[in-house]
Every structure is written in C-alpha cells, then in structure tokens.
Structure 1
Amino acid sequence: MRLLYGVQGTGNGHIARARIMAAALAERDDVSVDFVFTGRPPEKYFDMEIFGDYRTFTGLSFITKRGRVDKWATVKDANVSQFIKDVKALDTRGYDLLVNDFEPITAWAAKQQDLPSIAISHQAAFNYDVPKSGNTIFDSLLMKVFAPTDLQLGVHWYHFNQPIIPPFVSEKPIMASANGHVLVYLPFEDVEDIQQMLEPLSDQVFECFHPNIDEVKEIGHIHWHPTSKKHFQKALQHASGVIANGGFELSSEALQLGKKLLIKPLHGQFEQLSNVLTLNKLDLCHTLFQLDTDIVEEWLEAPDNEAVTFPDNANILIDWLKNKDFSDTQSLRDALWKNVRYGNKTQERLLALAI
C-alpha cells in the first residue's frame, strides 16, 4: 500500500502525532508513505529526519497576535492563488490512500483527483457530538471545507460513542522531583508578556520554550530555550507541571505523564476552548484566560494530575488502513480504547458526566 500523508504544520502537535505514525510505518515493508507539510516556512521545521524526503507547501494557517486569532489578518495573509496552484500541481496518482491531519492542499488535491481520503485528526472529532465551546457558524463551515475528506476519524481523550480513537503517546512516566521546574510553552504569546507574568514568582524555576527564541538564555529563575524536540521532551519528563496553550497533543503527553496542567486557550480558536471545556469537565486542568501572575501562583500549589495511559502502538491503526474496510470504525475503536487507562477519579468523573 502506498500512502500520501498530509500534515498541518502550523502547530507542533500535528507533527508530533505524525512522528509516531512515521516511526511505526518505517518498521513495515508492506506500506510506504510520502509526507507533505504545509502551514509554516520550510526553514521553521525542525527535527524532521523521521519523515525522510518530505515535501512542503505554503498552505493556509492562522495568524495570531498576543494570544488571539486575528481572523482579518488570517484572511488577508492567505495566498489563495498560490494555494490553488499547489493543489493543481500535487499529483496524487500512484497513491492508494490519503491520510490527512487537517492539511488542506493534499485534501483538495485528493478530492479533485478521486484519491480515497481519510482524516485522522483531533479536528475531525468536532464533526461529531463532543463537548464544544465558542464554535460559530464560521468555525463549523471551516471544519467542513478547510481539508475535506471521504471519512473523518476523530482523535480525542474519550470516544463519546463516536468514530473517535485515542491519541498515540510514546512518552512514559519517570520519577521526577515534585519541586522541579515548570515547563512553559505559550508560542502564541509575546515573550515579553510571558516574562512579565513569571517574573514575580522567583521561588519557582520556569523552563520556557518559544519559537521566537534563537538561543538559550537565563534571566534569573526564567530559562528561555529555542524549540527543540529533544530538549523539550526532556524538560517535559522532569517538569512538576505544564503551562501551555490548549493544543491537543501536548495536553495528551502531559496527561500521560501525570503532569498538572495550566491551560491558556488561544482566544478565537474554538478547538482550544473546547479542549479546555473537556479537561475541566474531567477535572484535569486549571484555566488561564489571560496572563495572570496570581493564577499561576495559586496553580503552583495544586496537586498533580492522575495519569491517563494512552496507546503507543500505531500498528492496529495501520492494519485497519491497509484492510480498507473504512465502514467498520467500531472494531478499530474497540481495539484501541482497550489500551486506555484512566485514574479512579477521572473514571468517576466520566461516569458522573455520563460521557
């Protein structure tokens, strides 16, 4: 089987999910794959060796300013003529299937060239009856037309009795100091604003990663790092807690590691607002709606989260893709959710909420 795999590259979460799939696919000789990434300049991708000879296009992405989606700037910045050219130029002949993680160029190319396609993404979960917050008619329309596919297979922290599978998370818990550093990853906020929020909390060390940081620098108890998969994962493993935007993949990794979460959802991004809603329902995060030192200080005293165990073996999914019986999502769902383990309190919350 020959797969074309389209990945939205605007955020690192989509790429993190694709890395796990790429590693599993690399171990098989019955499936080959070519990756396409869009949404950021080619030089801004990092630690991409696992994807081999991947291709990049400009694609479409959201413009953010100080922690908020700027819809007008997003529309203004969109290069629609280039997008149409790239869709027409992408030849999907020779592929058996498109796997799509909210990536528009491969989705539209597959649609126009009659290549069977399946979305496997967190965004696809919002096509179904799952908790939502802040979604508008514009958001619902965007979800339908941004990266259209023949079948939508959602990825979420619970299946909600829908065609939804759990995330794959490869990180495993290790013994870490309870009074260790706090990991901060707020890529949509200004560096100066983050620094100002954390400055007064001098008793706590913060390891901050940000795409606008070019080299490591320490400003007292606040340590700044450029984005790097290796160093980020090490900092995550040893953190006592995580302050982040409401992206799905990092929250999933933190949940698996039992790290307490302080989430600042990206304003105007209903997916992140919906993620916070679900995590709050399960009592698995605290929320930060604006950069506020007092809320961070209060959160620092909160206990750790109960860990949630997610599967790390993508072969069940790959076998299902290879069988091509896409009408049967139930067997895939059942096989994967058997590998998920919730803590006792989280399980009680699921039962109490009837979800």
Structure 2
Amino acid sequence: MPNEDTRMLKLAYQQMPYGIIILNQRNEIIFMNQMAEEIRGRSAQIIQGNNVLSCHPQKIKEVVARSLKALREEDPKNSNRMTIDKRNDKYYETNYIPIKNNNGSYLGSMLISKDITEQRKLEEKRLSHLKHFKEEADRLRAELQELFFSSLDSLIKTLEAKDKYTEGHSTRVADISRKIAQYSCDVSPQIDTIELASQFHDIGKVGIPESILNKPGKLNEEEFSYIKEHPILGEDILAPILKPKSIKPKPMKKVIRHHHERYDGRGYPDGLKEDEIPIGARILAIADSYDAMTTDRPYRNALTPRTALKEINSNLGTQFDPELGEVFLMLHDKGVIN
C-alpha cells in the first residue's frame, strides 16, 4: 500500500469515534488511536509494544486473556464485555475481533471500544422508573385487596343478618377446607384460593328470600330451586370484585360455583362428575356438608360428629370424592379436625 494511503488509513483510525487497539499474534499493542488513549487513560507512546494485558487490572486480566484466546480458535465468535470508568462516570463496551489473512490464519486482533454511557444511563433510568411503577402498582394492589376483603366481609355480615344459622359456618368450613388441602399434595399451590372460596362459598344466599332460608320444615320443589341457584348467584356477585391478580379470580369463582356438585354427577348447578369438578370444590363439598350436619338448622337439630362421619363415609364415591374423603376422615381421626 502506498505511503499516502497508509497515512490516510491511520488518520481515519485516529479520527474514529471509537477506541481502537490493534494487537499482533503475541497480543502486543501495535496501534492505539486517540479515543482508545482517552478510554484507557494511557498514552500510546508509552504502552505501544507492551502486552495488552498490562493495560488491565489484575482482577480482569484472566477475562481478557480468555477472550483473546477464543479469537485464535478455528471458528471464533466475536466477544464483548463492558468496562466502567468510575473516575469519569463512563461506561464502555469493547468488542474483540480476530484479524486473519486470506488463508484464514490468525494474524492478531482488534479491540473496538464504544462509549455506551448514554445508553447505560437511559437503561438505569428506565429500570428506576420500572421499580417505581412496580412499587406503586403493589401499593394499589394492596389497597384493592383490602377493599376486596372489606366488600366480601360486608356481604358475609349481610348474609348472617338474614340467616342466623350461617353465623360462623363459613369460617369453620374454611378452616376444614384448608386442613384437607394442606394434606392433599396435588393442591398445595391452591390452598389460599380454596380457603378464601370456602370463606365466601354461601355468599349467593344473599339473593334468596329469608322465608326460604329460615323455613323450619322441608322445602318444596320450587323453594329448593331457589336454593340451587345460590352457587351461580355467588359466582355472579363476586365477579366484579375479583379483579386483583393475586386473588386468582377464575379458580375461586369455579370453586364457589361447583361446591354442590356430586362425585357421581347428580349434583348442581352443572351436573359435573369426578375430575370434572374442580378439586377445590370437591374439598369444599366435604367441609361444607360436615359442618352443616353438625350444626343446628331450621329444619333439624345438629347431628353428632360420629353420625356425620358415618354419613360422609357411606357417601364416598357417590356424593364425595373418595380419596379426599379418606383424607378428611383421617384428619378427624387424628384430631386435626374436630
């Protein structure tokens, strides 16, 4: 190459907005432009001819050495790393590029450093904003959740004012459901959802006339048809307020809707059977039935726990999930449920 062309090429390298260092096969610096001098804080006249590793602190020499070694491989990939100039509050990204002849033999390498301070600071600002938005979203979610529970608590109080026999029922059922769920390995991620659904499973009864809820005798067919609507009413009542993502609205609504389904498919409202019924609803069905049997109702006195347990045991596989029913009976036998 004519001397004039060589001089022009060097001038072009010197005026580039990137730091450029060219190394020979022995990783010795044979060229370093002005931008590279600024980035490295070293003069080309002083370090030219030195091994490039001497320009780096001891703790990152191994990283640079590995990058340079990789360039000698038969089919190397360009590698890059980020360096930080704490003194000047600057960030640089350096790309390591192999230099080869026409035969593919390795001659040396080129290190091209780019100032990425502005991009980095924009990214830091973006992450800071995201953190702020997340904190604000968490705060709003907590407020919504508090409002959610307050709303449901008001509905429960409304129901208990209408039907004195339901007082404490939901709390006891929720406690039993949680214990069954805790001992059922398949539902451990759903425990909180099942407990919450159990707490509010009868909320749909707020839409049923008090005369039916508190009737001392047996319900006729028309009256019972009203009762059978309460799981659907409960799902509809909760739909508008089950918005916070942490509440898991869909599973909770399904547990409430299907807690009167039967294992044999003869339940309501949809006639689901066996595994078609959400597992949370199958758990709730057992807990709800046991507490209902062992407490006073308008139409009968409470059964003894022993009688209620026999009733549940005799209906495993028909009304109740047999495996979950066995878990319930075992927990009662051990005194976990009493």
Task: Find the structure with the greater CA-based Rg.
Answer: 2
Q: Greater helix share, 1 or 2?
A: 2
Which TM-score applies when normalising by structure 1? Answer: 0.24
Q: Which has the higher contact order (CA 8 A, sep 6+)?
A: 1
Which TM-score applies when normalising by structure 2? Answer: 0.25
